């Protein structure tokens, strides 16, 4: 059983940076691919980035490539999302998620997580 908790959200001006953290409990977390997703008001939850269990492979949606970086620390049981050059359209609730049957590539391809954190709000003002 894995539980996830996101933190690190906040309010920033356009061009600013934030680092989100997804802290996990459960000894199997290090064997799981993990994704970051976001949901803006009135929109469906969308894929942002994913990372393989080893941390060697990452995927990003086109709109965040070159600005966001996903990484993980097995010792800390944590996955990070470094967000730079933030834009107002990045405003959303950000969730981390995982699924014991999926991979980072499958999440990039549209497969959803089935274990979610509660989310953390990111607000970017112009």
Short-list 38, 13, 32, 18, CA closest to 106: 32
Strand partners, 20: 81
Which residues contact residue 17 at a Cβ distance below 8 angstroms, ignoring those fewer than 6 apart? 82, 83, 84, 85, 86
Short-list 3, 2, 4, 7, CA closest to 81: 7
pLDDT digit string (tens) for the chain, length 126 residues: 899 999 999 999 999 999 999 999 987 888 999 999 999 999 999 999 999 999 999 999 999 999 999 999 999 999 999 999 999 999 999 999 999 899 999 999 999 899 999 999 999 999
């Amino acid at each position: 059983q894995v539980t996830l908790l996101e933190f690190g959200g906040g309010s920033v001006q356009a061009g600013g940076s934030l680092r989100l953290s997804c802290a996990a409990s459960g000894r199997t977390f290090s064997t799981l691919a993990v994704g970051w997703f976001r949901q803006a008001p009135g929109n469906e939850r969308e894929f942002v980035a994913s990372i393989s269990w080893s941390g060697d492979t990452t995927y990003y949606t086109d709109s965040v490539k070159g600005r966001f970086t996903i990484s993980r620390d097995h010792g800390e049981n944590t996955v990070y999302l470094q967000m730079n050059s933030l834009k107002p359209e990045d405003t959303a609730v950000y969730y981390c998620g995982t699924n014991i049957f999926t991979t980072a590539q499958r999440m990039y391809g549209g497969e959803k997580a089935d274990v979610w954190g509660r989310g953390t709000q990111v607000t970017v003002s112009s």
